[in-house]
Structure 1
Amino acid sequence: MADTPQFFSPDLEGERTERPLVGDERTMLTSFLDWHRETFRLKCAGLTAEQLSTRSVEPSSLSLHGLIRHLAGTERWWFRMQFAGEDVDHLYYADDDPDMDFDRLDDDPFEAMAVWEAECARSREIVAAADLEDVGRSWRYEKPVSLRRVLVHMLAEYARHNGHADLLRERIDGATGH
């Protein structure tokens, strides 16, 4: 993979949205989810394609590139497929290759980042058009799934993977925080 110019300016600390201290449930859930999304973006800031694709915590196959792909797929899976019932294909998953999001890094990480951003934008549209009490039909679980449940799940997903991203980033160039 060719060394690509930096994707984001490394000086993005001031651009992360403040989390509210008070607010209704929707405001708290969506604000914290967006904060976690921004945190993840910052973990990827200022790195080359090669660095983003580095598996820096052996023996794990985790990389920031793989996490970008995984989180794009997770956004699509939970908001579009499970909640909204959209008939769209998986991004980086197949029954015969369920870990391709992490294992097959044959695409450009900056293109994967653009896909992730588009999936986040679509997720925000779905959330804006629905009430927390609204339910979709989870075709995987064959049960109703509420928007509230999807938002709580996504908060946990990002919190876990931001921890992974923090360790990966520190091993790549020593950067911590955000």
Structure 2
Amino acid sequence: MTTERHEPDQTAGERAMLEGWLDYHRQTLAAKCEGLTDEQLRTASVPPSELSLMGLVRHMAEVERAWFRKVLTGDDPGPIYYTEEDHDGDFHVTGTDTWQQAYATWQTEIGIARRHAAGFALDDLSQGKSRFTDRPFNLRWIYTHMIEEYARHNGHADLIRERIDGATGD
């Protein structure tokens, strides 16, 4: 499978632009993981760091869930990978964790995020709360934050992928 990345139209409206850049960064992370085995996707960047491509995908599934479910709509289904005892459980992959599972979970959370966001205007305020503040966020802020979150982690993914097999790129 080859992930196609599409930059948003340069003349798109604000919402289409924000959604387009978020999707572009989602596609970028998927592309960074293509063509690797589960073992390679579980490979940590540089010891002692446990950061891996699979861990980044699991983390982004948690982030999608937190911002578009818990914060935006007030729906709190609980964490996927982390626990009270292990706040970084999304990054702590084991030999039994698979790309198929991680990818499916991530894509499910992206689908739910899109459906929830579709019910809000950019200026609409969130109905839930984040772990950082009790103040609400508008959807515009959430989109912007998610673009920043993906962009930062896509930089990590570039370095991890280059270390695994030398592949570089956008």
Q: TM-score, normalised to structure 1's length?
A: 0.88
Unaligned runs of 5+ in 1: 1-8
2:41 to 41, 52, 61: 52
Write the letter of the residue equivalent to 2:100. Answer: F
**Equivalent position of 1:64 in the other structure:** 53
Write the letter of the residue equivalent to 1:174. Answer: G
1:139 shift after superposition: 5.1
* % same residue: 49
1:111 to 101, 104, 109: 101
Cα RMSD of the aligned pairs, angstroms, is 1.4
Q: Hey, what's the Cα distance between the residues in 2 that align with 1:117 and 1:154?
A: 15
1:88-103 equivalence runs, <5 A:
88-103=77-92
Q: Hey, what's the Cα distance between the residues in 2 that align with 1:133 and 1:18?
A: 24
1:94 shift after superposition: 1.6
**Equivalent position of 2:129 in the other structure:** 138
Unaligned runs of 5+ in 2: none
1:18 shift after superposition: 3.0
Q: How many residues in Structure 1 have an aligned counterpart in Structure 2?
A: 167
Q: TM-score, normalised to structure 2's length?
A: 0.92
Write the letter of the residue equivalent to 1:165. Answer: A
Q: Hey, what's the Cα distance between the residues in 2 that align with 1:163 and 1:33?
A: 15
Q: Deviations over 1:109-153 (max 9, x none)?
A: 220110001101111111112100111131532221111111111
**Equivalent position of 1:3 in the other structure:** none
**Equivalent position of 1:171 in the other structure:** 163
1:78 to 67, 85, 97: 67
Q: Hey, what's the Cα distance between the residues in 2 that align with 1:119 and 1:16?
A: 19
The structure with more strand, counted as a fraction of residues: 1
1:150 to 142, 147, 151: 142
Q: Is the 8 A contact 2:8 2:16 kept in 1?
A: no
Q: Hey, what's the Cα distance between the residues in 2 that align with 1:58 and 1:20?
A: 40
1:104 shift after superposition: 3.8
Q: Hey, what's the Cα distance between the residues in 2 that align with 1:70 and 1:131?
A: 26
